[in-house]
Amino acid sequence: MSAVSRRNSILPVPIKNIERELICPICKELFTHPLILPCQHSVCHKCVRELLLLNHEDSFDAGSECSLPGSPGPRSRVPSPSMERLDRLARSGSISSPGWRRGSVTPRVTTFPCPGCQHDVDLGERGMSMLFRNFTLESIVERYRQAARAAVAIMCNMCKPPQQEATKSCMDCKASYCNECFKFHHPWGTPKAQHEYVGPTMNFRPKVLMCPEHEMEKVNMYCEVCRRPVCHLCKLGGSHANHKVTSMSSAYKILKEKLSKSIHYLISKEDQVRTQISHLEVLINETEENGQVAECGAYEHFERLFQTLQERKSEMLNSIAQSRTRRLEQLRGQVEEYQGMLENSGLVGYAQEVLKETDQSCFVQTAKQLHTRIAKSTESLRTFHPAADPSFDEFVLETSREETLLKDLCFGGGEFPTLLICNDVCRHCNASPKFNLNLLTLLIGSPLTHLLRLEGSSVFVRDGWQSGGQDVLEDRVQTCRSGLHGAALHGCLLIKLDQTE
């Protein structure tokens, strides 16, 4: 790839295209103070509180039912709360911040299902305080908000009316300034001149990521077992004492390199994805056309058999329709999957924004889960196979044998018809053929296995079987040896047996 094309292939994705990566899976709105769960998914701070409250209420209700005298038993507890119910409660405002009254007999609930992967998240005794705040995601959300309200400027917090537009925001002062006010409040040669400043923003995050278990310690290592930043106290005597850890700079370098390579690979495969989508669309058309042909052919065959095979006709048509529907669903689902790769500009854009993160701790806590998602997308590109076969060859019917059986049917009169046994090639009847009972059914509606038993090449009527009050005797079973069976044999019911090897 040339240098020009390589530069073109990694153009930044517009910030507006990454909105779906910035939506909380619970409240369905842009993240507000997102927290990173142990499974690496992010959820709004308020949504975690609501999840805990909802689980607390469920456990309290279950305990109340158990305590009622004469109650039939505890209510079966649903392992995970309904997302629809939670979303409805959150939007209606009926859920408030969780709080437990002192002296409550119900223990505090610290476990809830992750809305992203449905795995249980146990916060332990420390509760929400053990979760990292996702500052990288929070910064990207803020940049998205600013892009969305580009017409609304951030004003200087220090100007006297009329206020001027802010040109800088000080992360230490947590305020926004115009050029003049910034110079005035950060005079050269003073400690304030060393403050960190960024472009105008409303998001003032802490400069340093602190350890949630040791509140006064900065995180400076990365636990490879738990996949999260830790401080030196965690390693010395905390919960990560026996875990393998690496330096933050090393983890930052490795994860950033992996993420960059994966992003570049995804972007470079856009033409391949489009080609595969075109191929899948052709397969969908072929599937629809071949399915219609197979359905019409099956319908014509069943019409020849009239009402006798009406039930079978419906079953086969339904089978074809179900197969076609299933294959179309599989192929269309695959199209949607690969279409999603084209729409991965949101994921790619989000990843590119993460790459802009210069704080190693913040980057490491976000990059691992993001790299896993991108790795899944790249894996499907390497192993492309159509999800379904458009051919319907297995639904082509051959009814000549069934038509022969129907033509040879006759009324038995007052006596039960003799059972005439033959295989497909009558001249081989004396060659001790073996018969596959699973393929046979008497045309009178009774399974052959209920009537006959086979021992080698001999056929016997099962003892005790009756028809119309008359015993079916063994001498009513004959073997075709002449090859002349057909319309000339009256009073017989022809049973054709498939010969197996």
Over residues 264-294, the pLDDT tens digits come to 888 888 889 899 999 999 999 999 999 998 8
Separation CA 105–CA 56 (nearest Å): 12
Separation CA 23–CA 285 (nearest Å): 36
Q: Does 381 share its domain with 308?
A: yes
What is the model's pLDDT at position 56?
62
The reply to whether 154 falls in a domain is no
The reply to whether 28 falls in a domain is yes
Q: Does 292 share its domain with 408?
A: no
The reply to whether 129 falls in a domain is yes
What token pair was written down for 332?
Answer: 């269309």
Q: Does 349 share its domain with 289?
A: yes
Range of the domain at 34: 14-67+79-99+106-133
The reply to whether 220 falls in a domain is no
Separation CA 168–CA 150 (nearest Å): 16
Cα–chain-centroid distance for residue 76? 27
The reply to whether 25 falls in a domain is yes
Nearest residue to 297 (alpha-carbon basis) of 312, 313, 276: 313
Q: Does 409 share its domain with 492?
A: yes
Q: Does 448 share its domain with 340?
A: no
DSSP 11: P
Nearest residue to 239 (alpha-carbon basis) of 134, 128, 125: 125
What token pair was written down for 66?
Answer: 């158990």
Tens of pLDDT, residue by residue over 222-264, are 888 888 888 888 888 777 888 888 888 888 899 899 989 988 8
Separation CA 274–CA 384 (nearest Å): 13
Please give the C-alpha separations between residue 459 and each of 318, 422, 497, in angstroms, as whole numbers: 36, 10, 12
Q: Does 41 share its domain with 113?
A: yes
Q: Does 387 share its domain with 457?
A: no
Burial class of residue 357 in the structure, from the number of CB atoms within 10 Å of its CB (0-12 exposed, 13-18 middle, 19+ buried): buried
Q: Does 326 share its domain with 426?
A: no
The reply to whether 53 falls in a domain is yes
Nearest residue to 365 (alpha-carbon basis) of 377, 373, 357, 374: 357
Q: Does 464 share its domain with 381?
A: no
Q: Does 477 share its domain with 381?
A: no
What is the model's pLDDT at position 494?
38
Sign of dihedral through CA atoms 65, 71, 77, 81? negative
DSSP 216: T
Nearest residue to 134 (alpha-carbon basis) of 195, 200, 196, 212: 212
Please give the C-alpha separations between residue 339 and each of 12, 272, 273, 374, in angstroms, as whole numbers: 20, 12, 8, 15
- Reported as type and span, the H/E element at residue 351 is helix 345-355
The reply to whether 229 falls in a domain is no
Query: Residue 6: how many CA atoms within 13 Å on its side-chain side?
Result: 5
Q: Please state, as a whole number, how many other Cβ atoms lie within 10 Å of the Cβ of residue 381.
A: 15
What is the model's pLDDT at position 165?
83
First to last CA, the chain: 59
Nearest residue to 355 (alpha-carbon basis) of 425, 233, 262: 262
pLDDT tens track, the chain, 501 positions: 444 444 444 455 555 567 778 888 888 888 888 888 888 888 898 888 887 777 666 555 554 444 444 443 433 333 334 444 444 444 444 444 444 443 444 445 677 888 888 888 887 777 777 788 888 888 888 877 777 665 567 788 888 888 888 888 888 888 889 988 998 889 888 888 888 887 777 777 665 678 887 877 888 888 888 888 888 888 887 778 888 888 888 888 998 999 899 888 888 888 898 999 999 999 999 999 999 988 887 777 667 666 666 777 778 788 899 999 999 998 988 888 777 777 666 777 888 888 888 888 888 888 888 888 788 777 777 777 788 888 888 888 887 876 777 677 454 433 444 444 444 333 333 333 333 333 333 333 344 444 444 444 444 444 433 343 333 333 334 444 333 333 233 333 334 443 333
**The last residue of a domain, from among 395, 427, 455:** 395
Q: Does 294 share its domain with 413?
A: no
What is the model's pLDDT at position 285?
93
**The last residue of a domain, from among 339, 361, 395:** 395
**The last residue of a domain, from among 362, 379, 395:** 395
What token pair was written down for 185?
Answer: 């409040």
Separation CA 55–CA 107 (nearest Å): 11
Residues 6+ apart with CB under 8 A from 89: 50, 54, 95
Residues 6+ apart with CB under 8 A from 303: 313
What token pair was written down for 79?
Answer: 């392992």
- pTM reported for the whole predicted model: 0.37
The reply to whether 174 falls in a domain is no
What is the model's pLDDT at position 58?
58
DSSP 22: G
- Asked if 31 and 110 touch (Cβ cutoff 8 Å), the reply is no
- Asked if 398 and 305 touch (Cβ cutoff 8 Å), the reply is no
Residues 6+ apart with CB under 8 A from 354: 136, 140, 259, 363, 366, 367, 370
Q: Does 377 share its domain with 422?
A: no
Domain count, the chain: 3
What is the model's pLDDT at position 411?
47
- Whole-angstrom Cα Rg for the chain: 37
CATH number at residue 36: 3.30.40.10
